[in-house]
Amino acid sequence: MPDKILNTRPGRLIGRVQVPGDKSISHRAIMFGSIAQGETVIENILQAEDVQTTQSVYQQLGVKIEATDEHLKIQGRGFSGLQEPVRALDFGNSGTTLRLSLGILAARPFAMHLIGDASLSQRPMARVLEPLGQMGLHISNDAKTLPLNLEPNAQLNGLDYVLPVASAQVKSALIFAGLQAQSATNIVEPIATRDHTERMLTAFGGTSLRHDNTLTIQPEQTLHGTTLQVPGDFSSAAFWLVAGLLVPDSHIVLPKVGLNPTRTGLMQLLEKMGAHFELTDVLHDSEPMGTISVTTQTLQAIQVTEVDIPAVIDEIPLLVLAATQAQGVTEIRGAEELRVKETDRIQAVTQELRKLGADITEHPDGFTICGPTPLHVVNKTQVDSHGDHRIGMMLAIAALMTEGAVNLSGSQAINISYPRFFEDLATLWNE
């Protein structure tokens, strides 16, 4: 893939962007639609590579899924309607598809071979396999990473489990397995993570019970197909929130963005840094959504600790970029999970933003960022996405702060979550 020449120094960014559908919710909508009884219609589903991976995995499991321009229609036939795939199930680059599906696939009456791309094949799966193993799942090749061979006919028991890592993917896998167990499953979350699975379970006619930080899932629930509207992805809107704050004289309006509080940590942290966002047209449906407006503002350094991390986990590369432009020393700690995402995001962010002159020190679990530092190009700077969509897009926003040419290699990774990213950027461009 040839390099992408990034836009640098726009006059200002002005306009409206309707960001694409939420990736986490789109994955779950396909999964719930597949294990429910009857038809599910999903509106505004994300059309991007990771969600196509989920769609193709469930099609290979025999689920009828039909896509039109406006929506996706799924004919669900319950967990027991899933059929033996004829080939290996390929999870591509998508950690969410794989980890959540392990919970769904744990009790199937047929064996399966699970594979993925080079990045996914290095990501840790023991965090899901270990509790699923306690429930009764067997992996015949005894692996902790892909490729995995799932043995058939596991009889799942309920489980009491304290999540050792704050992970919505692990929690969700245990929810799906808990629905198929012989007794209740109790999951304790020391730090709350995104709750899309719990909300969607309710939307499909099921229930979960939350008491403080313990979630209880009862087995043998019948789920019914439904119609769902996927909100815009806050994680995609985040690129425009930070661009709008940092590029002088900007004003960006983002309609119909998901505002689930377990996802909007970036907005809260930027507010602590002194930013103000306007929220209008807020709708409180199964997933809240609304319009966010942002204008250029100056920022102050803050301290970010472990408890802040889950609600901002995918936006930390952008938070680091914002901190390079804030007054003072920002510390972000307790974020070691970033090392096991699509790439090591602590290393990638530090390495790439330093090429543009940022003052960042890397720690095992985070960053120290001294700001503000003007970002600049040293002789046609070459930056690299490290094959990671969020690093690629963050660098494209960073380039807006520089003068001169910045080349991005590995820009195709952006198709994982936001294929229209550069087209949306072009609509905001006002010379």
Ligand X SMILES: C=C(OP(=O)(O)O)C(=O)O
| Catalytic annotation, residues | 314
- Residue from 90, 198, 287, 342 touching ligand X (CB under 6 A): that is 342
Burial class of residue 6, CB neighbours in 10 A (0-12, 13-18, 19+): buried
CB-wise, 315 or 377, nearer to ligand X? 315
Helices (H) and strands (E) in the chain, counts: 12, 23
Is 144 labelled a binding residue?
no
Q: Which two tokens stand for residue 353?
A: 């933003």
Scanning 8-16, 93-101, 150-158, 250-258 for contacts with ligand X by CB under 6 A, the matching segment is: 93-101
The least CB distance from residue 95 to ligand S3P, in Å, is 6
Cβ atoms 370, 358 nearer than 8 A: no
The least CB distance from residue 313 to ligand X, in Å, is 8
Q: Does 168 bind ligand S3P (CB under 6 A)?
A: yes
Q: Does 314 bind ligand S3P (CB under 6 A)?
A: yes
Report the C-alpha gap between 3 and 269 in whole angstroms.
33
Closest to 311 in 3D by CA, of 335, 347, 278: 335
The least CB distance from residue 120 to ligand X, in Å, is 7
342 binds, among ligand S3P, ligand X, none (CB under 5 to 8 A by kind): ligand X
Site string for ligand S3P, 124-163 (x = CB under 6 A): ----------------------------------------
Q: Which residue is nearest to ligand X (CB)?
A: 95
How big is the site for ligand S3P, counted in residues (CB under 6 A)? 10
The least CB distance from residue 28 to ligand S3P, in Å, is 7
Report the C-alpha gap between 406 and 374 in whole angstroms.
15
CB-wise, 170 or 326, nearer to ligand S3P? 170
94 binds, among ligand X, ligand S3P, none (CB under 5 to 8 A by kind): ligand X
Give, as ranges, the residues between 380 and 419 that touch ligand X (CB under 6 A).
390, 417
Q: Does 108 bind ligand X (CB under 6 A)?
A: no
Which residues, including other chains, have CB under 8 Å from residue 304's CB and lie 6 or more apart? 269, 312, 319, 330, 331, 332, 333, 334, 335, 366
Q: Does 193 bind ligand X (CB under 6 A)?
A: no
420 binds, among ligand S3P, ligand X, none (CB under 5 to 8 A by kind): none
DSSP 23-58: HHHHHHHHHHHHHSEEEEEEES---SHHHHHHHHHH
Is 341 labelled a binding residue?
yes
Q: Which two tokens stand for residue 373?
A: 């530092």
Report the C-alpha gap between 68 and 80 in whole angstroms.
27
Report the C-alpha gap between 251 and 393 in whole angstroms.
19
- Residue from 108, 194, 256, 420 touching ligand S3P (CB under 6 A): that is 194
Scanning 166-174, 238-246, 322-330, 397-405 for contacts with ligand S3P by CB under 6 A, the matching segment is: 166-174
Q: Does 313 bind ligand S3P (CB under 6 A)?
A: yes
Site string for ligand S3P, 270-309 (x = CB under 6 A): ----------------------------------------
Residue written as token pair 């914002």: 322
Burial class of residue 185, CB neighbours in 10 A (0-12, 13-18, 19+): buried
Report the C-alpha gap between 295 and 244 in whole angstroms.
6
Is 171 labelled a binding residue?
no
390 binds, among ligand S3P, ligand X, none (CB under 5 to 8 A by kind): ligand X
- Residue from 28, 196, 256, 341 touching ligand X (CB under 6 A): that is 341
Q: Does 256 bind ligand X (CB under 6 A)?
A: no
Query: End-to-end CA distance of the chain, in Å?
Result: 28
Backbone angles phi, psi at 400, to 5 degrees: -65, -20
Is 339 labelled a binding residue?
no
Beginning with the edge strand found earlier in the chain, give each strand of the sheet holding 227-229 in spatial order: 64-67, 71-77, 37-43, 227-229
Give, as ranges, the residues between 73 and 112 that touch ligand S3P (CB under 6 A).
96
Report the C-alpha gap between 238 and 240 in whole angstroms.
5
Which residues, including other chains, have CB under 8 Å from residue 421's CB and lie 6 or more apart? 236, 239, 393, 396, 414
Q: Does 325 bind ligand S3P (CB under 6 A)?
A: no
The least CB distance from residue 171 to ligand S3P, in Å, is 8
Closest to 23 in 3D by CA, of 240, 263, 204, 202: 263
- Residues of each annotated binding site for 3-phosphoshikimate: 23-24, 28, 167, 169, 314, 341
Per CB under 6 A, residues contacting ligand S3P are 24, 96, 167-169, 172, 194, 313-314, 337
- Residues of each annotated binding site for phosphoenolpyruvate: 23, 95, 123, 169, 345, 390
Per CB under 6 A, residues contacting ligand X are 94-96, 314, 341-342, 390, 417
